[in-house]
Structure 1
Amino acid sequence: MIFLLHGKKNSKQINAQIQCFIKELYNKKYTILYTTSFYKHIKKDVAKYNNHNIRTISSIDEINGKIDYLICFGGDGTILDASTIVKNSETPIVGINTGRLGFLATISKDKLSTLLDSLTNKNYKLSKRTLLNIESNNNIIQNPFALNEISICAKENTSMINIKVLLNEEYLNTYWADGVIVSTPTGSTGYSLSCGGPIVMPESNNFVITPIAPHNLNVRPLVISDEHVITIEVLGKNIRKYLLSMDSRSQYINKNLSIRIKKASYNIKLVEIDSINYSKTLREKLLWGLDKRNNE
């Protein structure tokens, strides 16, 4: 099997656990690749087991052939970063939670010792997550997809912008706000939630349109089918550019460039070793529904 390892800088204690896992991979003669960013953090540690024929990549596009698993050490942000590495390759992402919340990176670092057996025996479940895809009338948008959300915001934090939104080419609304978020079910517990959007179960076939600080008491978040095509245009005489964000990636876009957002033709696959009870995850991670009167 071929493994691609990715992650962020971790504590010495967590690095020790990661080193044991890497050592096990080398002992079993598996092929190991590293993302360029991750290898910078563990270069000295890897040299203990292998100091030659190290290959690093920034994207799966750089190799020919199939990678069996991308092992991701970090938190949910690292998983979002990993989605830009695997792209449409359908490579399963194995998220080892070394961060804080762990909504997407669901596998505890304490299970690293048994992880390899679970993967080789295919003793896991794949959770397929919908992506958002962006289209525009030019090709200036880099990595035009998002796992969590796409947001349109004013370039300046003190400015309000007008955002015209169409659903399937039919007028929906013009938002007078700091911005608008279009989120997937996966992203409904992220930025959209912070702006008053609803939580949507991961398997739902929906998107959520959530205004950011709207200057209107009659505007609320809207849940739509993920079969809808959303067209967004930024209006306003004093606006020249706006900020387009796709998960953790952002770039400035000229006002006259409208964008179309729709469901991507491929999914991101997340490996779940244990059976995941999403309701339990909401209660434990977000303290959702916390009420001392509830005994369960």
Structure 2
Amino acid sequence: MTQDTARPALEVRDLSVRVHTPRGATRVVREVGFAVHSGRTLALLGESGCGKSMTAQAVVGLLDPVAEVVGGQVLLDGRDVLRLGARERRRLAGPGLAVVFQDALAALNPVYPVGTQLAEPFRIHERLSRRAARERAVELMARVGIPEPRLRVKSYPHQFSGGMRQRLLIAMAVALRPSVLLADEPTTALDVTVQAQIMELLAELRRETRMALVLITHDLAVVAEHADEVAVMYAGSVVESGPVAEVFGRPRHPYTRGLLRSVPADRPRGTRLLSIEGGPPRPAALPSGCAFRTRCPLARERCATEAPPLSITGPGRTSACHYWKELADAVDA
């Protein structure tokens, strides 16, 4: 069975999330859809505030109490996890679906040694003894590159560097060999060298275990180097998707093109950097029609009155732009 015909490890269909505020309810994620297969990496890409992290929180069931899923499906190996009860979802946390957060110090419990925290999944899901679970924790620490794991297993989170704490979070996430791993900005606040090490570790673990990886980021370089497919988000919606090489090489949405043009690579020193004019709209005050039209160089009268659907623009590719063909012709020319 080929990848195109195989069932995705994770498929999100028309996912919508609403947040309740003192001023009323606001939809912050709007009919988002994407799919990722085993052994592949999908990147959710976009500016801060575009809905990437909220989408991930909805997928793993960790939304704040003020937020709720109001539509869509989250299919884990064909099973809609949104329809499962709390107990069934907890059983999936680890062997089915795992997550790596961007703030390792906040995600790790400061009052327990890291070995105790790493051993917990084995105690809960595999019913291992305390000693056996501790041995598995030591093995995990060694696998993710923690020096002297048998000694450090008794250390507390604050006794590790930022990069080592991120490795510990990854170890906890992959302890039970999950089918799908969501990594939410996993290299935030780390220096460039450590970032590269963390991303290579995730890539190695993905190859070894054949897990599907959903990488949430705003870093185009990370996406270009590590992702197979990309879904570009803007104002709570996916506006373009497809294989990374094709989307980055021949964008079919003005927002994607704007992001790519803003990268300063290969620009002569002293020249003005390109950027997308303006900023993303607030979820409670989206423009009529196309949400990107107030920043779009291609915007016309139709864009103010008619929201563009997410249309198929080629094999495995989509774009939510009325004039994607015009953009494609300009890029290909």
TM norm. shorter chain > 0.5: no
TM-score after normalising by structure 2: 0.28
TM-score after normalising by structure 1: 0.30
